[in-house]
Amino acid sequence: MSVAATDRRHLLGLEGLPRGEILSLLEAAEGLQDAASGRSDARDRLAGRVIANLFFEDSTRTRNSFNIAAIRLGADTIDLTGRGSSVSKGESVLDTALTIEAMGVDALVVRSSDAGAPAMIADAVECSVINAGDGCHEHPTQGLIDLLSLQQRWKDFSGRRIGIVGDIAASRVARSNVHGFTTMGADVVLVGPPTLTPASFEKIAAGPGRVTVSHDLDAILPEIDAIMMLRVQFERHSPGAIADDYRARYGLTRERFSQLRSDAVVLHPGPMNRGLEIDAEVADDPQRSLILRQVANGVAVRMAVLTRCLSRR
C-alpha cells in the first residue's frame, strides 16, 4: 500500500502536496526562524523523541541541518551512513530501516541513491519517514527551502517565472521544485542541453503554474524573476556525457548575470561546481545571490517538517 502525499506522518515528496499544506509548512518555518538560530528556545517541542538520520548517500547541508533542527527541537538524534554500518556487509536499506525502527525511534530521515527508497520504507514501518533526497526522484525539504527563500523576497508566486538551469534529468531538486513552484502558481522554464532536459518534464506538474522546456539560456534571461542553477552531477552520468562547451552554453557567467533583470535573484541548492554551472562572483553576490539564505533556511524548514510529522496524533 503506498503512502498518500497528504499523510502528515511522512514527507516523501512535493508531488501531490496541496497548496494549503505547503503554505502551512512555510508559515511554520518562518515562525521558527528565531528558534532555528538559537535566539529563542523550542526544545520542549520534541523533547524525548529520537530521530534517526539514515544517509546512504553523502550530504553536507541536508544531514547537518536535519541534525541541528532536531537538536533545536529538543529531540535526540542518531546518525547512520552506508560506510561504518552493516550496509557495508550487504544488509539491505529496508532491513536497516526496520532494525533502527525496532530500537524505538520516532522518525527516519532517509537519503538514498535509489528513487523510491523512502516510500518503500514508509510502507513497511510505523514511525515517520522523511525523504532527504532519493536518487533522481525528489528532495522535498530542499524544495520547501527554495520556496521559503523566494517567498521572503516576493510574498506571492503568481505571475512569477522561474528558470531552473542545467542537469535537469538527474535532478531531484528540479522535480521537487517543479511541483512546489507550479502548485504555488509560478511558471517554470527548464533550461539545458537536450540530453539533460527531457521534454517529458513539461508534463510532470499539475499546475496551476506552467512548465516549459528551452535549450537557449540567453533567450530566457530577460524574462525570468529568479534563476536556479543546478550542479552538474558527474557521478550520475557516463564519462563524456557533459559536453566540453557546457559552461559556454549553460553556465551563469558574469556576462549572463548582467542580462538578468536588475531585481532577479540567483539560487543554487549546493554543492556548487564554481566556474562550471556558476561563476564565483555570481554565487557570492551579496544582494542577489540567495545561496547562503537557502542554507540558513534549511534548519527552520526541517524544524517545521519534523514538527509536522511528529505531532502527536
Footprint of ligand CP (CB under 6 A): 59-62, 133, 139, 142, 269-271
Q: How far is the CB of 302 from ligand CP (least distance, A)?
A: 11
Q: How far is the CB of 118 from ligand CP (least distance, A)?
A: 14
Q: Which is nearer to ligand CP, 228 or 260 (CB)?
A: 228
Task: Provide the strand spans (E) within 101-186.
Answer: 107-112, 128-134, 161-165
- C-alpha grid cell for residue 268? 543554487
Q: Which is nearer to ligand CP, 57 or 187 (CB)?
A: 57
Q: CA torsion sign, 237 to 131 to 73 to 105? A: negative
Q: How far apart are CA 224 and CA 211, in angstroms?
A: 13
Q: How far is the CB of 271 from ligand CP (least distance, A)?
A: 6
Q: How far is the CB of 211 from ligand CP (least distance, A)?
A: 21
Q: How far apart are CA 153 and CA 136, in angstroms?
A: 28
Q: Which is nearer to ligand CP, 251 or 269 (CB)?
A: 269
Q: How far is the CB of 126 from ligand CP (least distance, A)?
A: 27
Q: Which is nearer to ligand CP, 193 or 298 (CB)?
A: 298
Q: How far apart are CA 104 and CA 120, in angstroms?
A: 19
HSE of 18, CA atoms in CB hemisphere, 13 A: 7
Residues 209, 174: contact at Cβ < 8 Å? no
Q: Which is nearer to ligand CP, 61 or 247 (CB)?
A: 61
Q: Which is nearer to ligand CP, 174 or 220 (CB)?
A: 174
Q: How far is the CB of 71 from ligand CP (least distance, A)?
A: 17
Residue with cell 496551476: 208
Residue with cell 517554470: 188
- C-alpha grid cell for residue 35? 528558534
